[in-house]
Amino acid sequence: MKGHVGKMIDELTIEIQSRQADDGSFHFCFENSLMTDANMILLLKTFTKEKALINDLADRLASLQHHDGYWQLYEDEEGNISATIEAVFALLYCGYYQKNDPKVKKAYTFILANGGLGKAHSLTKIMLAIHGQYPWPNFHHLPIHLILLPPASPVSFYDFSSYARVHMAPILLLSDRRFIIKNKEIPDLSDLLLRMEMEPLQAETRGLLSNIQTAIQDLAGIPHRMYLLARQRLTTYMLQRIETDGTLYSYFSSTFYMIYALMSIGYRKNDPLIKHAIQGLKSHLCETDRGPHIQNSPSTIWDTALLADVLQQNASLINSSKVFLAHHQHTKFGDWMINSPNTMPGGWGFSKSNTIHPDVDDTTAALRALHKDKHLQNNFTRGLNWVLAMQNEDGGWPAFEKGKTNPFLKYVPMDGAESASIDPSTADLTGRTLEFLGADVRFTLNDPNIQRGIEWLRNHQEKDGSWYGRWGVTYIYGTWAALTGMRAVGVSADDHTVKKGIHFIRKCQNEDGGWGESCRSDVVKTYVPLKASTPSQTAWALDALMSVEGNVTSTIEKGVRSLLRQLEVKDWTYRYPTGAGLPRNFYIYYHSYNYIWPLLVLKKYLSLDDSSE
């Protein structure tokens, strides 16, 4: 089989090489949930005279409709009401479908059968409210004065995660004005707005809102002036974080809300700031096998860093990639400095346009690629110092900023608040950071930072031996990161925590030898098998096994055979999303993952000695 493995490594490497840009970067499509395509249609229809791109996006969006009338976020989901609302609204608005079209009627039937517009995700309701299809006051309860509250308050604006803040700023401005954009072509969805009693807020949510109101009442100043100051600070916060490509933090979603927020404070449709933002979002376009797709955040830095690492032996191929990565290391201070004031910039972001919003995972990925280059040691040291500074007090690592762990924020009355409002330590970030520190920096069990990270992982292992992965799907992802991280810093293969984790990986192996986990795991917060195998999840499981076993076992052999088949067949599992953004709402098929992770484990497989289980 080693000959077959070697041939697949060559094929993957050749394909990757063909995708390298002139600047040394690699970019594969970041194919996320359809929200970005639907909302891009709305922007283009409202703010431009663009027709060709609208039609191309609409063609792809229409092609994704299930024969039962709904749209879904992943293959084994039996319809998603928010996605269906977003898709049908966009297709009606741009004139692709008319209300009496049979496909629209089937979508309406699904939406009504599942509770109507009132059952949509909060972000979908905000889009509808902007277009006059859902009442603003009915679901948004946070006052704009939140941004005026001092850090000593039970809750303040800067307690929220960075990605929450950058969406909250424009949304608070919009909801405060109850902004509605006027356009006679906006479709009327009132047939889908069912009468229903509002669900009462949780006691914890009521307590949170009460505390916020009490803190606001304690603010000193003339009420109207405080109100104007709050709006001014939210506007300034938003404008100061626009990147050079016109986008807000390089995210489609936050830029979408920003554009309408600018309208709500008096900007005209043809204002250069709005035109530049839309042009920036158009640069997020990538091609899929069904047509163009608008990425929420292009994954150029992530793809380039991971591929440069796995291709370390191909020096001629990745030298320019290292130069590209070094050029995109951050030199500006971002919001992360609030809780790390003595730390110099040195991280990397996810997208090429990102200059002020670094994250731990992209930074360790870039550092893996650079660590052997003696000419880039200054870059490496700055990046390493930044990563170490982001370690939370509890010992784990967050995604973007340390210290964003206020437990009250889980009760913000927005869908997904428990995941989006805070940026806590996670098993995937902690495990991958430990793996980098052990494998590439040679930190050992004697280091206090390592000890704290290991202790965090021990304390957060599930009863079945798994770990929850926040940014991938889900328990296979988290368990892979935790196990490879612990092993890299010297935790024994006979350690009880490690053995429990490997037992979980073993019992999840499918009959075909591979591994596959459903996105539903991310929703119900327990492992849900996909009942099929995916390349990236199979590779993660194999990497975990190899890190513990140290030689080729029958389980590993069976898994590698399955992985080779998956890479050759390329059925629906090849496109199944294994990246996660927001539970129930946002999943990602990283096109690069079917190259990066299989290539990593196939190379490792060839380096192992044969054994028997």
Query: Three-class SS of residue 89?
Result: helix
pLDDT digits 0-9 by tens, 23-54? 999 999 999 999 999 999 999 999 999 999 99
Q: How far apart are CA 365 and CA 19, in angstroms?
A: 19
- Domain residues for 45? 30-191+206-294
Least confident stretch, 68-82, 201-215, 465-479: 201-215
Which 8-state DSSP code applies to residue 201? P
What contacts 24+ positions apart, CB below 8 Å, involve 99-103? 99/187, 103/62, 103/65, 103/69
Q: Does residue 233 have a pLDDT over 70?
A: yes
The Cα–Cα gap between 237 and 220 comes to 22
Give the mean model confidence (pLDDT) for residues 570-598. Answer: 96
Q: Tell me, what's the pLDDT at 613?
A: 42
Residue 79, SS3 per DSSP: coil
Tens-digit pLDDT profile for residues 245-265: 999 999 999 999 999 999 999
pLDDT at 151: 84
Q: Could you give the percent of the chain with pLDDT greater than 70?
A: 98
Do 366 and 302 meet the contact criterion of CB atoms below 8 Å apart? no
Is 425 inside a domain boundary? Answer: no
Inside any domain, residue 387:
no
Alpha helices in 298-376 (DSSP H): 300-310, 315-327, 360-370
Q: Give the pLDDT score at 381.
A: 97
> Over the stretch 302-345, which tens digit does the pLDDT of each residue have?
999 999 999 988 888 899 999 999 999 999 999 999 999 999 99
Selected catalytic residue, list 361, 362, 415, 543: 361
**From CA 514, how far away is CA 558, in angstroms rounded?**
8
Sign of dihedral through CA atoms 333, 256, 360, 154? Answer: positive
Q: Note whether residue 15 is domain-resident.
A: no
Q: Is the pLDDT of residue 138 over 70?
A: no
Does pLDDT of 198 surpass 80?
Answer: no
Q: What is the mean pLDDT of residues 530-553?
A: 97
Is there a domain that residue 233 lies in? yes
Give yes or no for a contact between 259 and 171, defined as CB atoms under 8 angstroms apart: no
Name the residue among 562, 575, 505 with its Cα closest to residue 533: 562
* Structure-token pair, residue 189: 């969805």
pLDDT, mean of residues 232-257: 98
The terminus-to-terminus CA distance of the chain in angstroms comes to 18
User: Which pLDDT belongs to residue 21?
Assistant: 96
- Contact 35/83 with Cβ under 8 angstroms? yes
Query: Cα-atom radius of gyration of the chain, to the nearest Å?
Result: 24
- In DSSP notation, 527-565 reads --B-SS--HHHHHHHHHHHHHHH-EE-HHHHHHHHHHHH
Query: Would you say residue 339 lies in a domain?
Result: no
Per the domain annotation, does 227 fall within a domain?
A: yes
Q: Could you tell me if residue 372 is inside a domain?
A: no
Q: Each residue of 364-412: pLDDT tens digit?
A: 999 999 998 889 999 999 999 999 999 999 999 999 999 999 988 888 8
| Position 248 in a domain | yes
pLDDT of residue 532: 97
Mean pLDDT of the 177-194 span: 95
Q: Residue 200 pLDDT more than 80?
A: no
Regarding pTM above 0.75, the answer is yes
3-state SS string for 211-259: HHHHHHHCCCCCHHHHHHHHHHHHHHHHHCCECCCCCECCEHHHHHHHH
Active site (annotated) includes residue 245: no
Contact 360, 433 (CB under 8 A): yes
Instruction: Please say if the pLDDT value at position 182 is more than 80.
Output: yes
Q: How large is the greatest C-alpha to C-alpha distance in the chain, in angstroms?
A: 77
Distance CA(325)–CA(328), nearest Å, equals 5
Number of domains in the chain: 1
- Quote the CA–CA distance of 21 and 323 in Å, as a whole number: 13
Rounded-to-integer distance, Cα 248 and Cα 241, Å: 6
Strand order in the sheet with 579-582: 30-32, 586-590, 579-582
Q: What is the pLDDT of residue 611?
A: 56
Question: Is residue 610 scored above 80 in pLDDT?
Answer: no
Mean predicted lDDT score pLDDT of the chain: 94
CATH number at residue 73: 1.50.10.20
